[in-house]
Every structure is written in C-alpha cells, then in structure tokens.
A and B are shown apart, each in its own frame.
Chain A
C-alpha cells in the first residue's frame, strides 16, 4: 500500500549538502506495523517526515518514489498534499505534553480535524469522537471530551493524540517514538493499543523507534537504518533472531538483556569511537590508587523524607506540599553497586540529590563511612563529603559547561579540593585521566561541543574521578545515549568499579541496564521503597507485586 523506493533526502547547509537518507526502500501493507529502528542520525524520523510531506526546510526529497495506494505523493501540489494529511496519512509525535494545542478542548480539536476532511455535522462528529475515545481507553469520554489537554495525564494525553490521528480513518499512521516519553507501564498499554488498531482497523503503521525491545514487541516488519542507509530489512522475528548484517548483529549485542548479566558488552568495532579504556592513562590510575579512592565507603540513609512546596491556589489555604520521598531507608555496602529503579516521579533522582546535598530533606539522617553526613543546608562548602561523593549526570550535553575548555572543566575539582596546586601538573593529570577513560589527551584544549554524547559522558566520568571520589552516583548516565554508546559507557563504569572498587549508586529507569550494573537493587514507587533485594534474586524472583509488574512490562529481546 505504501511503497517507498530509493528515497533520498538532502539538507543543504553551510558545509555543503548533507544526505540524511539515501536510497531507502520499504513497503507497508494494511494492518502491518513496520518498524524503523536505528541510532541517532540514522535518518528514521526524516523518512517519516518525507512520507507525510513535512520535511523541515531546507530539507528536500532529492530522489525516489513515494506511492500511497495509487497516489504518487511526490507529484502532489502543496494543497493536495495537505488534503491527504489527516485523511489518508496521519502522524503521532513523541511528546504528548507538547503535541496538543493547550488552548482548545480536545473536543474542538477532534471535531475540527474530522470536519477538515469530510462533510460531517458537529453533533455527528462529537458522537464519533466520544465513541473513538471510549474505544482507545478513555473512560467517561462523554464528560472528559470537554476537558483541556492539561487536564489529562501523560499516558491519557498520548491516547488523545492517537485519537486525533485516528479520527479521520487514515490508511497509514506514522508514529515517531510514540512511547519514548512514557513510563513502561503506560508504554506497554499504548503499544498494545497500536497493535489492536492495526489488527482490527487494518491501519498500516510506520513505527519509528530507537528501542529494539519495542520493535520486538509489536512490529511485523523491521528496517534497520544507519547513517541514512538501510542495513537490513525483513520480518521482525527473522531479523532479530538471525541478523545477517554485521551492524545489526553488533547493535543487538549491545542491547542490555533483562534475562542475564554480562561482564562486558561486545562493542561493535565499527561504532567504537575511541580506544578501549584503561590501556593508557597509567599516571592517572597511579594517582587514583595513591589516594583514598580505593578505600571505598558505605552509605546509609535512614527515614529520608522530602516534601516540595506545591503551588498555592488559594489565599486561605496553605499550599499543599508534594511528598517526593516518604521515609526512605537504604544501605549501600562498601565496594558494591546499588541499583535504584522506579518510574518517573518515583523519587529516585530526588534521593540522589539528597545524598549529593542539592535537596534538603525535611526528615531523616544519612551516614557516610560511619560518620553523619550533613544534609544540604548544613553541609559546608569545605565538608569532606563534597569531594568524597561525586555524581555523573544524565545529559552529557548539559553537564559540561559549554563555554569552558575541557581542561578547565577537568581541572576544577583538582584545585577546588586542593588535590594538586601546580597548574602544569594539573594539566598533565587531566590529560592522563582523559586517556584512562578512553579519550585522546589533546581533548583538553577543545570545547564540549566538539565531542559526541558518548565522548562527553567519558569526560564527565573523568571529572568525577579527578576528585578522588569514594562514592559515585550515576543518575541515568546512559539514558541520553544510543545503545552502542551506552554499552561502551557501561563497560567503562564496570571497569572502573572492578579496578578501584568504588561504591556506586546507579539510578536508572531501565531495568535491563540496572541488571548489568548492580549487586543489589532498590525499587522506589511514588517515593517509597517497595523492595530491596540482591540483584540476581530480584531479576529471577522479585518479591513485591509492583516489581513483578515492572519486570513483566519491560520489553525484552
């Protein structure tokens, strides 16, 4: 039904023309879900945009055939193309928070979309809208339909988005990372819905995602893309079970498994972006071994409660506070890795911030290495814990100051903690540390924007190590990275843990990643500890029902 042949998309820019998509062919039949998978820069979103005719300027289709049924999409006039959008092809965007007009009720948005494509009375359109909302799982649709987008939760909002894409009965829906912004439980429901719609209504889907678990769960066909080219394509079970192309094999190897723990990931050699770590940087390693880093500490938090002040809504009522953490206790033994998991809003990042002293708990105590660890406001600038506890952040694009050279970023802990007073020695040490985390030492004179996400995360690791930490907090350190890069960073962290026996708190929403990293696991739900177990025991036989649910909903390979 949709037939794409030899599609090439180009983006002219100051550095010449950039080919985002080259010679891509794919076919999608009615009722079929066709997955486009690949890492960032693979051109998967560009293909979707090209099909629906919404390429961001100055991008343009340079070559190829785009045929929907018997309509040649490339030969359409702009007006005809716009008439097809919605009526025959529709789209679902990634973020349900921003894809709905905040000023219009969902009723108005639905009715308007239907009336744009067919001659239908408002009351008939409303009736159909209510029916549709009920069908996709919004209860009391007749009442809820007059609500504004902000009155729905994230998952419900994505359902509204799907209803909007669906209300005109299109033949093809392009879903661009439709579940990336959602928690696993909601993700699984939305994916089920998409599968149902494909089966029952015979709608064709193009599902764009970076998550191979999602591909495995619902797609019929899959096209693996890299750098704008098709690496491999075919029926999903076939491609995932017996990949032919080396890239697909490497990609699958670097996906963390929920069902087993690997010592190291096999990193696809062609996506390896730097030399393997720990062969160089002997000086840095010696320096670390000379300090107290190899003498790790244990951490205990007890009855930590954090309340955030809510928005005041009335003059006569106090603002209702929001309890982010409710009497959370946790023990991390020295030299072990504690995995901290939970959905968004479970309070896992808040707990990390309490330990680092960014968030003030309203209650509870903390002990580090047997001594009390003062909370945020009581922790002085000179407190030893400022150095002992270091953190690696989620987003390597914002965790390094874009205006400073790498040398200045790395040198900061050295002089701040008085570890090295001589500027020349500081520089040498920073260079050695860069080598140790697998970077070229000449990176020291460059700026963060000159590096890729994975390289930046290595630099962030180097910065943390240059404080000679004894307790390392990793807050979703790989969730902003592609899987192959994630595998490298996880390898690096594993190596460091092996070598220096660091105590680590590893925060992640991704259970498969946590399995690879941790000795013990703590599960948080809505600010409360649900379960703490040995890692292997947790993944084979979780104790709490919530843990079981989380595990069963996580898409696996």
Chain B
C-alpha cells in the first residue's frame, strides 16, 4: 500500500514540488497544533483563571515591552495570542472539517444517485441545486443561521451555535460535490467496466459505491480540499460578521473581529497575528488543492 503510494505518479510529482511540500507541512503543523491545543497551549482562553488582565496588551516578545512568556503578545484581556490562535484554529478546523465531510457525503450521495439513475430523480436534484446556486454559499449560511435564530429559543441557540454554524456551512457547500459527482458519473456510466457490472446484475448501490466511486475520487478529492478551505473561510467570515460564534468561544474569525477594534490603535498584533495565521492556513490548503488538481489531470502527464 505504502509502496504503491510512494511510487505513484502523484507522489512523485509531490516530491518534486517544493510549494506542495511546504504547504503540506504548514497544514499538518497547524492541524497538529489544533488537535493538541489543550496540551501545548500555555493557557486556556476559555478558562478565566488561566490568564490575567494584568498581562493585557503585551506586544510580541521582540518588541519593546514584550515579554518572553508571551512570544506573540497578549490581547486586551491578557490572553496569550498563541494559545488563543491554537484554540481558535481548533474550533475553525473542527467546524471546517465536519462541514466539509457532511457536504461531501450529502453531495456525493445525491450526485452519484442523480447521475446513475438519471431521469426524474436527476431532474429534481439538479433543480434543487439550481435554486441553491442562485443563493450563494455565504447567503445560505447566513439564512440558515437567521432561521435558527427565529426558531430556536435563545438559551438553546447559544449551546447549539457550533452545530448550527457547521450545518449552515455544510448545506451551502454540497452543490459543488453533487454537480461534480454527477458529471463524473455520466462519464463513467458509459464506460465498459460499469456496463459489465450492470450486465452481471449487480445491485445499483454496489455499482455506485464499489465500482464508480473509487474511479471518481480524483476530482472529488480536489473539491474536498478546496471546499475545506472555503468552509474555513466561510466560518471566519460569518464569525467576523458577528453572526457565527460568540466572543467567548473564539474561532479565528472571531479573533480577527476582536482585533479589528485595535486597527487604529497601536496594538497591531491583536489583529494581524490571527489574520496572518488564517491566511497561511487557507493558502496552504489551497496550494495542496491546486497541486492535487494538476496531479489528477491525466493530460498533464
């Protein structure tokens, strides 16, 4: 298995692409940081006792007045920036990854079935996709959030913020997967290996999952990567707009929104440190997505 991956063309291209290697390293590093935040962060931004107002507004260590305890400085509350970012990335990536997985399962499932069965089912799914396309991702997410506000009592809403946000993002991204999966199935369906399976009388579910799905994973993997980046951006944007997560459970977007308050005063790091971090994360994922797109393009070999 590993030997197969190691010798594959895609991996060979990977080893020859410094940008992809650096991006993969960055993404992996951030992912590890996010997963292990509770163990590596020196303070917990959720825990009021782990930081003190006395440490507020400390600049990064290399600036005048910086403290070596807080290498990237502290915010107005005295929270360590690194710790906040790690916890923020943890939340952002959790929401992004879960939303991406939900969108993948939903979109690929509908797209596969629509492409395989065609006809009326296909028409219905694609018309729903049309409507969804008329309402872009961020609008859908905002809308679902708005509906949740209207339907759920506010006490429950606070507890469900993360869930609502995740679902909102997932529902705004599924169309991409559905359309790609459907288009790929239309191509694969007429290939002889699928016809062979159909002639044999295999179950449609098996034909879709066991025969077609592995053959269309390439483009889907690309979209998964790109949409993970979109999901993280979307979460950050919604939180920035103040629609997403409240200030006491800061994601990267929330941190940036808080930092906006200090745009005009001297505490630049409160804004720019989380911003830079978010951009590095998303750029890394997008570079990987670009790389995968090239690697899976048979015409480029």
Contact = CB atoms under 8 A, between A and B. Distances in A.
A382 B203 CA distance: 10
B193 A399 contact: yes
Contacts of A286: none
Contacts of A380: 201
Interface of B: 9, 12, 191-193, 195-203, 211, 214-215
Q: Which secondary structure dominates where chain A touches chain B?
A: loop
A399 B192 contact: yes
B198 A393 contact: no
Contact of B200 (A394, A402, A412): A412
B191 A398 contact: yes
Contacts of A383: 201
Interface of A: 14, 356-358, 379-383, 386, 389-391, 393-395, 398-404, 412-413, 416, 463, 467
Given A402-B215, A403-B215, A416-B202, A358 B195 contact: yes
Contacts of B200: 386, 412-413, 416, 467
A358 B9 CA distance: 36
Contact of A394 (B192, B199, B201, B215): B192
B199 A391 contact: yes
5 contacts: A381-B201, A386-B200, A390-B199, A401-B215, A402-B193
Given A14-B12, A402-B215, A403-B214, A393 B195 contact: yes
Given A356-B199, A393-B192, A413-B200, A401 B211 contact: yes
A393 B201 contact: no
B218 to A, nearest CB: 10
Contacts, number: 52
A34 B196 CA distance: 42
B192 A358 contact: no
B199 A398 contact: no
A427 B295 CA distance: 34
A386 B199 contact: yes
Contacts of A356: 199
Contacts of B197: 412
Contacts of B193: 398-402
Given A357-B199, A413-B200, 12 more contacts: A381-B202, A381-B203, A383-B201, A386-B200, A391-B199, A393-B195, A395-B192, A399-B196, A401-B193, A401-B215, A416-B200, A416-B202
In order of increasing CB-CB distance, the 6 nearest A-B pairs are: A403-B214, A399-B192, A386-B201, A393-B192, A381-B201, A401-B193
Contacts of B202: 381, 412, 416
Nearest to A393: B192
B167 to A, nearest CB: 32
A185 B168 CA distance: 60
Contacts of A393: 192, 195-196
Contact of B196 (A357, A381, A391, A402): A391
Residue of A357, A390, A401 with most partner-chain B CB within 10 A: A401
A358 B199 contact: yes
Contacts of A14: 9, 12
Contacts of A416: 200-202
B238 to A, nearest CB: 38
Contacts of B9: 14
A236 B198 CA distance: 47
A546 B39 CA distance: 83
Scoring A395, A398, A467 by chain B CB atoms within 10 A of each residue's CB, the highest score goes to A398
B255 to A, nearest CB: 42
B192 A398 contact: yes
A358 B196 CA distance: 10
A381 B192 CA distance: 19
A382 B201 contact: yes
Most buried by B among A399, A413, A463: A399
Greatest chain A CB density within 10 A among B9, B192, B203, B214 is at B192
B108 to A, nearest CB: 16
A400 B199 CA distance: 14
A100 B173 CA distance: 38
A356 B202 CA distance: 13
A379 B200 CA distance: 11
A401 B12 CA distance: 23
Nearest to B215: A403
A394 B198 CA distance: 16
A259 to B, nearest CB: 32
Nearest to A14: B12
Contacts of A463: 196
B280 to A, nearest CB: 31
Contacts of B211: 401
A401 B197 CA distance: 10
A404 B193 CA distance: 11
| Most B C-beta atoms less than 10 A away, residue of A358, A390, A393, A400 | A393
A390 B211 CA distance: 18
A212 B199 CA distance: 36
Contacts of B203: 381
Nearest to A412: B200
B289 to A, nearest CB: 22
Nearest to B216: A403
